[in-house]
Homo-oligomer: A and B are copies of this chain.
């Protein structure tokens, strides 16, 4: 709560995003965020009138990132199965943080799910972006049950992220990625 700090909304949001991911939303105080940014609580409350308001901005930010990522993937990987593999690849490239902090989407949804329903809806949208994107691909692949298939892929990815997080086990995460990719090849 010292230092100077040019505190644009974006700057605060980015730092809050990181803290909320690594510590959890309820376990992160606004004082901590302000401290990390280098401003005072009072100043932070000028930019965001409430803690929930801050989380909304964080989630909105994540949603924007996800949309951009999916567009990029659509552009980079024309083939349907390549898109699916790219999705799995995300688990591999993020293995370090997943094993330490879990999946940012999964953790946040679990945390908000028990109460705080209005915010949960926002957090839920993150999942739905991936799900709808995946479903589109399964349609391309000729599946009638594209929704079920896309959710199944999310189930495997979330299960892999969750268990490798709980066991702090990179090897497990890699093995599960292998299995998911085998599954993609087999369909």
Stretch at the interface among A1-9, A72-80, A155-163: A155-163
Residues of chain A at interface, number, CB under 8 A: 37
Copies of this chain present = 2
Tell me if A30 is interfacial: C-beta within 8 Å of chain B.
no
Q: With A114-B23, A157-B159 in contact, is A152–B179 under 8 Å at CB? A: yes
**A interface, over-half SS:** helix
The reply to whether B115 and A166 contact each other, CB–CB distance below 8 Å, is no
Stretch at the interface among A44-52, A104-112, A132-140: A104-112
Q: Pick the contact of A159 from B24, B114, B158, B165 — CB < 8 Å?
A: B158
> From residue A109, how far is it (CB to closest CB) to chain B in Å?
5
Q: How far is the CA of A22 from the CA of B115 in the complex (A)?
A: 9
Q: How far is the CA of A52 from the CA of B147 in the complex (A)?
A: 42
The reply to whether B114 and A110 contact each other, CB–CB distance below 8 Å, is no
Residues of A within 8 A of B (CB): 22-24, 26-27, 101-102, 106-107, 109-111, 113-115, 124, 127, 148, 151-152, 154-160, 162-163, 165-167, 169, 172, 175-176, 179
